[in-house]
A and B are shown apart, each in its own frame.
Chain A
Amino acid sequence: DAGVIQSPRHEVTEMGQEVTLRCKPISGHDYLFWYRQTMMRGLELLIYFNNNVPIDDSGMPEDRFSAKMPNASFSTLKIQPSEPRDSAVYFCASSLRAGGGSGANVLTFGAGSRLTVL
């Protein structure tokens, strides 16, 4: 398996532009997570899906952020309009299950998408 695949790896855009980040989870994983990583705040959970359904989006910072999972093999995180404070590394992760207890619950992360908003 190629692991969790994210694109683009790097994105530089101007304030006000729309940004779309993409993720392909590991085949067979039922859970997909979007995280944001910054130096100041560390790793923050934005939203997660179970079987393509959003379960908890309480971490999504504001209405400018939206996430979709149209099928089991693809998810997008969209920022519109983007702002300089959105600059961060965005990670997608997937797992077989969620909750503690066994290796099946362990998150496998993608390599991340580094976003710079000028």
Chain B
Amino acid sequence: GESVGLHLPTLSVQEGDNSIINCAYSNSASDYFIWYKQESGKGPQFIIDIRSNMDKRQGQRVTVLLNKTVKHLSLQIAATQPGDSAVYFCAVLNSGAGSYQLTFGKGTKLSVIP
């Protein structure tokens, strides 16, 4: 099966600094990866995704890096803002497994210090 882990349960960063949130996965057949942001009292919101044929993808202030060799992905947030405070989840999928079993990590809580 798939297990998804996070290196740090909490992360505190100064406003304006860059944030890096890490995620490790175990199934080398995983081929689709998503980062979600969950604010208090809300459902997870899509941030960015990446397929296994890429190693980097950029969005607005966010970058996802994928290292398939060590089964690791990271989410980088540039110029972190107070509104970025939330819990961030990585989720992985093996699209060839015949079922849409999107496996979520436990989450990293990002706190932005003004």
Spell out A's residues near B (CB within 8 Å): 4, 31, 33, 42-45, 48, 55-56, 58, 91, 93, 98-101, 103, 105-112
Contact = CB atoms under 8 A, between A and B. Distances in A.
B99 A91 contact: no
Nearest to B52: A100
Interface of B: 31-32, 34, 41-46, 49, 51, 89, 91, 93, 95, 99-102, 104-107
Contact of B107 (A42, A101, A103, A106): A42
Given A43-B89, A99-B95, A101-B95, A109 B100 contact: no
Nearest to A50: B100
Given A43-B89, A100-B51, A101-B32, A56 B104 contact: no
Contacts of A55: 99-100
A110 B41 CA distance: 11
A75 to B, nearest CB: 15
A100 B95 contact: yes
Given A42-B105, A42-B107, A99-B95, A108 B46 contact: yes
A109 B43 CA distance: 5
A107 B95 contact: no
A13 to B, nearest CB: 20
Contacts of A100: 31-32, 49, 51, 93, 95
Contact of A99 (B46, B89, B100): B100
Contacts of A44: 104
